[in-house]
């Protein structure tokens, strides 16, 4: 296995967030596997943005701490980055006013600023010059870069960027990195962020209504769906707030739309009231929640997985919901697709829980198989034209706790849909018997639902001594660590509620040593496992500094415990 870690860094506003994916695409087209992880503060200009790319001749899943090559346009790099003697730093030292003689690393001093001035190019294309410089240094033909530029940029700015690319190639006079690795044909692979995949999956699943209010790191789902709304006949509405976002989606779903909303924890706090409305009215709704650290506004652009308990328990009273916790692009794609079917089939709210790291990092996949995928809209009353004024028992059990839906406009389907407890026709009721009957019916949905949720799975060598227990995106780092260390395996939870705890308990109990790994302070999954199985995982590896796990950290843990 060969591996190279390149970081591009610059003040916000310099285009780093698009340079990372651009370079990643070039590398993929050239024949390397790539994974990319961006870090950025909540600033539009200034500050310190970085994009870390992991490049390999094998699939690569997660970020590392150590950088091999740093291409930087920011003086801050020299404080923020851990530069080792073998780190290659590419920068315009004159422009940054950094004294390179004091640096204990390999330095390439490139006059980016002077070049754009001499060539009459806009300042901003220094970023492309740098990318081109890197590409040449790795021996990648300029045609690959130009092809990617062509796909990414409008015709208006293409010439300027081509020129910048040529400047970068000219400035680089040596292959300063050795990547004489075996190349693969990765042309059919896609390279996408989690949010792009979540939105694409929603489109696949036939979503036709998405209403929400922007909140990082979920906002790009809104942007993506808005971009494709016209092509696919989707109503995408940026509402006045999250309360309107979720209740509008509920209104639409009630009327027959396939509806979804999406936000982060802060926005979901506002949506909780609407969540209860979806539950009591049995209106199907998909909620895409991308986590970030902190209560209230927290750290908008950083990583944490601490909203699991929140989505599991949000709202007063008790009701059936489903919670998916996908760990990678594939799981995310199928979780979102299934979420729509499950929401409509069981007439419940369904969560897909992502986080900043999964939502905004870029990963590679060999595509998504969509043959065989089916839409299941659940039980729907088709109407009765002969008796259009009939009152319809909307909340009467049809099968397995599930009633039939009747969309407004359906003759013979007239019923009421209240936020109060209600009888079979939807009339408000506080009758003790009716309350009990309705509550029991709604909970009867669990029995079949649990069979449809993906179960925790063991990855790696069955007989290994150490077993990590993870949910959500931490799956990726454990996969990556397995490249180096074989004496561990892990149990990953792609969904957490409702799942079959009996078999899960069995899976956990037959392991030699369990270590919980979670991006939160309290080890939320650990608590949930203890509550449901009596298995208490004492060893915990918890991280809550706003960053995802890095591979080296996992390897260090393994060293410590074995």
Partner 1 sequence: MKPMELNTNKKPVWCPGCGNYAIWNALKGAIAELGLNPWEVVTVSGIGCSGKMVNYIKCYGFHSLHGRVIPVATGVKLANKNLTVIANGGDGDGYGMGLGHFIHAMRRNVDITYIVHNNRTYGLTTGQASPTTLKGVVTKSTPEGVIDEPVNPIVYALSAGATFIARGYSGESELLKELIKEGINHKGFALIDVLQPCVSFAKEFSYDFYDNRVYKLDDNYDFTSKENAYKIAYEEDRFALGIIYKDISKPSYEEQHSVLKDKALVEREVRVRDISNILSAYK
Per-residue CA distances from 429 to 405, 416, 438 (Å): 20, 12, 11
Closer Cβ to partner 1, 365 or 539, answer by number: 365
Tokens 């003759």 -> residue: 411
CA 504 to chain centre: 25
Q: Do β-strands 285-291 and 349-355 pair in parallel, antiparallel, or remain unpaired?
A: parallel
Q: How far is the CB of 228 from partner 1 (least distance, A)?
A: 7
Closer Cβ to partner 1, 280 or 517, answer by number: 280
Q: How far is the CB of 25 from partner 1 (least distance, A)?
A: 8
Closer Cβ to partner 1, 46 or 151, answer by number: 151
Q: How far is the CB of 33 from partner 1 (least distance, A)?
A: 14
CA atoms within 13 A on the CB side of 87: 21
Q: Nearest to residue 37, comparing CAs of 366, 291, 367, 303?
A: 303
Q: Provide the β-strand partners of residue 471.
A: 493
Closer Cβ to partner 1, 61 or 108, answer by number: 61
Closer Cβ to partner 1, 206 or 294, answer by number: 206
Closer Cβ to partner 1, 258 or 404, answer by number: 258
Closer Cβ to partner 1, 370 or 562, answer by number: 370
Cβ neighbour number for residue 428 with a 10 Å cutoff: 11
Closer Cβ to partner 1, 112 or 381, answer by number: 381
Q: How far is the CB of 119 from partner 1 (least distance, A)?
A: 30
Q: Nearest to residue 134, comparing CAs of 83, 76, 176, 186?
A: 176
Contacts of 557 (CB under 8 A, 6+ apart): 515, 541
Q: How far is the CB of 269 from partner 1 (least distance, A)?
A: 16
Q: How far is the CB of 10 from partner 1 (least distance, A)?
A: 24
Tokens 């009630």 -> residue: 254
Tokens 């393994």 -> residue: 558
Please give the Cα distance from 164 to 170 (Å, whole number): 10
User: Starting from the edge strand earliest in sequence, which strands make up the sheet with 513-518, in order?
Assistant: 457-460, 488-493, 466-471, 513-518, 539-542
Q: How far is the CB of 417 from partner 1 (least distance, A)?
A: 4
In this structure, is the dihedral angle defined by the CA atoms of residues 65, 67, 72 and 74, taken in order, positive or negative?
positive
Under 8 Å between Cβ of 242 and 220: no
Q: Which two tokens stand for residue 156?
A: 């208006």
Q: How far is the CB of 145 from partner 1 (least distance, A)?
A: 16
Closer Cβ to partner 1, 239 or 269, answer by number: 239
Under 8 Å between Cβ of 533 and 505: yes
Q: How far is the CB of 163 from partner 1 (least distance, A)?
A: 25
């Amino acid at each position: 296995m060969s591996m190279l870690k390149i970081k591009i860094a610059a003040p916000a506003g310099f285009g780093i967030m698009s340079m990372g994916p651009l370079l990643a695409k070039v590398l993929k087209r050239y024949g390397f596997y790539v994974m990319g992880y961006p870090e950025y503060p909540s600033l539009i200009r200034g500050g310190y943005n970085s994009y870390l790319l992991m490049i390999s001749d094998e699939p690569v899943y997660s970020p590392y701490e150590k950088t091999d090559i740093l291409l930087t346009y920011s003086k801050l790099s020299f404080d923020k980055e851990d530069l080792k003697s073998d780190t290659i730093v590419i920068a315009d030292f004159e422009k940054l006013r950094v004294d390179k003689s004091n640096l204990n690393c390999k330095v390439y001093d490139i006059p980016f600023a002077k070049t754009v001035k001499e060539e009459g190019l806009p300042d901003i294309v220094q970023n492309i010059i740098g990318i081109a410089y890197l590409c040449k240094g790795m021996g990648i033909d300029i045609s690959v870069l130009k092809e990617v530029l062509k796909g990414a940029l409008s015709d208006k700015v293409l010439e300027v960027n081509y020129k910048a690319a040529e400047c970068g190639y000219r400035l680089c006079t040596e292959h300063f990195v050795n990547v004489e690795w075996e190349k693969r044909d990765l042309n059919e692979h896609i390279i996408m962020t989690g949010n792009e995949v979540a939105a694409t999956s929603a489109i696949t699943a036939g979503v036709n209504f998405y209403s929400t209010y922007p909140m990082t790191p979920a906002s790009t789902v809104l942007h993506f769906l808005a971009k494709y709304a016209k092509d696919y006949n989707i109503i995408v509405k940026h509402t006045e707030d999250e309360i309107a976002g979720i209740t509008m989606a509920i209104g639409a779903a009630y009327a027959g739309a396939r509806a979804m909303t999406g936000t982060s924890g802060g926005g979901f706090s506002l949506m909780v009231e609407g969540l209860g409305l979806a539950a009591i009215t049995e209106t199907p709704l998909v909620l895409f929640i991308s986590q970030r650290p902190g209560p209230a506004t927290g750290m908008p652009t950083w990583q944490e997985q601490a909203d699991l308990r929140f989505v599991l328990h949000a709202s007063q009273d008790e009701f059936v919901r489903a919670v998916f916790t996908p760990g990678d692009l594939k799981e995310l794609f199928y979780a979102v697709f299934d979420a729509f079917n499950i929401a409509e089939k069981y007439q419940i709210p369904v969560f897909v829980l992502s986080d900043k790291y999964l939502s905004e990092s870029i990963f590679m996949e060999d595509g998504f198989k969509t043959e065989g995928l089916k839409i299941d809209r659940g039980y729907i009353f088709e109407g009765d034209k002969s008796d259009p004024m009939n009152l319809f028992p909307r909340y009467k059990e049809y099968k397995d706790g599930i009633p039939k839906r009747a969309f407004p406009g359906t003759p013979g389907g007239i019923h009421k849909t209240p936020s109060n407890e209600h009888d079979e026709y939807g009339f408000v009721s506080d009758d003790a018997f009716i309350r009990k009957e309705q509550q029991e019916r709604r909970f009867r949905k669990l029995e079949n639902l649990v069979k449809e949720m993906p179960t925790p799975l063991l990855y790696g060598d069955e007989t290994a001594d150490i077993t990590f227990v993870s949910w959500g995106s931490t799956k990726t780092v454990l996969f990556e660590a397995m490249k180096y260390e074989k004496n561990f395996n892990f149990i990953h939870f792609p969904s957490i509620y409702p799942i079959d705890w009996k078999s899960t308990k069995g899976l956990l109990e037959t392991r030699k040593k369990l270590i919980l790994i979670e991006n939160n302070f309290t080890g939320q999954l650990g608590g949930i496992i203890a509550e449901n199985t009596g298995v208490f995982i004492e060893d915990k590896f918890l991280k809550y500094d706003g960053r995802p796990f890095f591979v080296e950290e996992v390897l260090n843990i393994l060293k410590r415990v074995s």
